[in-house]
Amino acid sequence: MSLELDRRQLLRLGFAAAAAWQLQPWSVHASAAPDLGPLSSVDVAMTLEAFSDTLIPGQKRDRADRAVAGAVRGPGAVQAGALALMQFPALGLAPGLPALSAMLNAEATSYAMTERITLDPSVPPFVSLDFRQRTRLAVQLLDFSHPDYLAYYALAALAFLAFHTAGHLHTADAVRQGHPGLKALGFPLPDSDGFWRFPHFSYRRRVARSHAGTTRSGHPA
């Protein structure tokens, strides 16, 4: 897989992997990197945010922000709530997040050893990598030849879902509150009652007349 990731392919396979995880979580394993020991909840969060920021980058939230690399200006997956969606109870993925974070950090440690990169011990290994290094590692993890690529596609899908759909929020509330992903997509505001209505024909003209027996709700008689 080249550095230019196919976004459609990433989304399609990512959604399928996330759906498969919901039906039956699969066994995952890290590479032959040294055991980093248990991660704190803060380390887990930082690692998952760093992975999400690699896929849809954004600007740092403050000067002390290490998870977000700050590769671009404007909000990215982290600001769009990627971590909140990963922890969303309805997905059932939360129990597996520490293991997935450990996998990412084990992979980052192996990558750093191979590339002779000195890691900062004050943060998780994946977080210690700069944006370019994180990107190159992510490409390797999402390659079909990687034994755990489905797990990483599942995580990637959630980062994209958070940005493009605000799946952990009520859509009307997310749009009104200026959710960065929906705003970037130009998602329209709902009516005052929280519903969307479309008074104009999409082609700006009526392409066919409704059958005389069509009900008021739009169903055929």
pLDDT per residue over 24-73, tens digit each?
A: 555 555 444 445 556 789 999 999 999 999 999 999 999 999 999 999 99
Q: Which residues of the chain have pLDDT under 70?
A: 1-38, 221
Tell me, rounded to whole angstroms, the distance of Cα 142 from its chain centroid. 13
CA 153 to chain centre: 9
Q: Rounded to two decimals, what is the model's pTM?
A: 0.78
Supply the mean pLDDT for the chain.
84
Domains of the chain, residue spans = 7-172
Give every CB contact of residue 200 below 8 A, 6+ residues apart in sequence.
none
What single-letter amino acid sits at 57? P
The residue type found at 215 is T
